Amino acid sequence: MFKSSTTVVPETPKVPRHIAIIMDGNGRWATKRFLPRVAGHVKGVEAVRGVVEHCVERGVEYLTLFAFSSENWRRPAEEVSLLMRLFVTALEREVSKMHANNIRLKVVGDLSRFDPKLQELIAAAERRTANNSRLTVTVCANYGGRWDIMQATSKMVAAHPGAQEFTEDMLAPHLAMAYAPEPDLFIRTGGEERISNFLLWQLAYSELYFTQTFWPDFTPESLDEAIASYQQRERRFGQTGEQVAKKTN
């Protein structure tokens, strides 16, 4: 179990140990080119490949990607089903490569709403890559931060029958990403500056980075820029700047 940033003052790694990304702007990328929105999603998958490879090179240990939110079901049915098909193809095509590169794949979210075939594909990919250790790539699918907190709360209550009081430490193991430390760096592409119900609990002390770049245009160099920005930040976790300086000097 990783320590929570509100329970202890965590280490601040030079290269973020965990990067979480809202990959936004696929639709606008396509529309700008008079292409159907789905063309942006297809191109977005290619951007994922580049970023995964670059995370391996930079020594990032956890990469978390928001692929489909619990609110994305509100989109037109054809876009939703195209996204699902794309997810299936991407899984079929990429998992062997990830496995060969020692990458562990996790998919978190309320998967019960997905086609059983897709659920099986996900479970098989997770099983196959479970012991890989170079990088953990988590795809958040039908994920919502509120869903996560609620499902964890239900499990916590069930695990402590009769308890009247609960602590963070009792909740944390039930969160969908309990296997990962909290993100050091959060990135949102596409120009919007909001969290859109992503990792609400886990982003408590993450450094936030927003860029206008649409996700399909996000390259390894763009990732380096985000990491460089992160490296300029002073992460204080509630302390004073003087306290932080004393600790690192």
Nearest Cα neighbor of 54 from 26, 15, 94 is 15
**Per-residue binding letters, 69-88, with ligand IPE (x by CB under 6 A):** x--x----------x-----
Q: To which residue do tokens 């897709």 refer?
A: 118
Phi, psi (deg, nearest 5) at residue 19: -115, 130
Residue 218 binds what, of ligand IPE, Mg ion, none (CB under 5 to 8 Å, by partner type)? Answer: none
Cα–Cα distance for residue pair 37/11, rounded to 1 Å: 41
Q: Which one, 10 or 25, has the nearer CB to ligand IPE? A: 25
Question: From the CB of 7, what's the least distance to ligand IPE, in Å?
Answer: 29
What is the footprint of ligand IPE within residues 173-202 (CB under 6 A)? 190, 192, 194, 196
Cα–Cα distance for residue pair 160/171, rounded to 1 Å: 11
* DSSP string across 220-242: HHHHHHHHHHHHT----TTS-HH
Neighbours of 48 (CB within 10 A): 21
Residue 61 near Mg ion by CB under 5 A? no
Q: Active site residue: 72, 101, 132, 197, which one? A: 72
The answer to whether 24 is a known catalytic residue is yes
Residue 64 binds what, of Mg ion, ligand IPE, none (CB under 5 to 8 Å, by partner type)? Answer: none
Tell me whether residue 34 is exposed, middle or buried, using C-beta atoms within 10 angstroms of its C-beta: 0 to 12, 13 to 18, 19 or more: exposed
Instruction: Give, as one character, the DSSP assignment of residue 101.
Output: T
**Per-residue binding letters, 20-39, with Mg ion (x by CB under 5 A):** ----x---------------
Q: Which one, 24 or 207, has the nearer CB to Mg ion? A: 24
Residue 38 near ligand IPE by CB under 6 A? no
| Catalytic annotation, residues | 24, 72
Residues that bind ligand IPE (CB under 6 A): 22-28, 66-69, 72, 83, 190, 192, 194, 196
Residues that bind Mg ion (CB under 5 A): 24
